[in-house]
Structure 1
Amino acid sequence: MKKRKIPMRKDIVTGEMAPKKELVRIVRDSDGHVSIDETGKKSGRGAYISINVEIARKAKAEHTFEKVFSTTLDDNFYDDLIAYVDHKQARKELFEDGQ
């Protein structure tokens, strides 16, 4: 059976390449709104971050997405991002341990 190619993306905070499924996509749409792309299919410019709470906190401290998207974001966006990443990380650990 032929092996499928695994799409790789670069984590915007650490600069490391990782499989797309292990990252969270953040998107800026044509109106300039920045949001978490839960489906990975929203239209707009995307940037990726690892499913790791410490990396999300580092992104907040360094205002990473403000630099990447050339816009200003309030702390609520980063707080929502940290909560979302924490949830995804917990689910990942829960279901990987069950196998």
Structure 2
Amino acid sequence: MKQRKIPMRKDIVTGEMVPKKELVRVVRTTEGTVELDPTNRANGRGAYISLDVEIAKKAKAKKTFDRVFETKLEDSFYDDLIAYVDHQQARKELFGDAK
């Protein structure tokens, strides 16, 4: 049986290529708002970050998404991102690869 190709995306904090399932997408919508995109289908410019709390904290410290999306973001966005990544990381450890 032929193996399926695994889609890879670049983590904007570390610069590593990672399987898409191990990342969360953050999108700047056409209205100019920046938000998490758990469905990976929202319209707009997307950027990916690993499901790792330490990497999310690095993104907050370096204001990575401010630079990538060329906008000023509130600290509450980064706090929400860290909470979401923490939740998804715990869920992955609890249930394995099933989403």
Q: Is this a same-fold pair by TM over 0.5?
A: yes
- State the number of aligned residues: 97
Q: Give 1:96 shift.
A: 2.3
TM-score by length of 2: 0.95
TM-score by length of 1: 0.95
Q: Distance in 2 between matches of 1:40 and 1:96?
A: 20
Kindly, what percent of the aligned residue pairs are identical?
Answer: 72
AA of the residue aligned to 1:53: V
Pairing 1:53–2:53 present: yes
CA RMSD, 1 decimal:
1.1
Runs of 4+ in 1 over 2 A off after TM superposition: none
- State the partner residue of 1:21: 21
In structure 1, runs of 5+ residues without a counterpart are none
Q: Distance in 1 between matches of 2:90 and 2:54?
A: 13
Deviations 1:3-39 (A, max 9, x none): 1110000000000000000000000011110000010
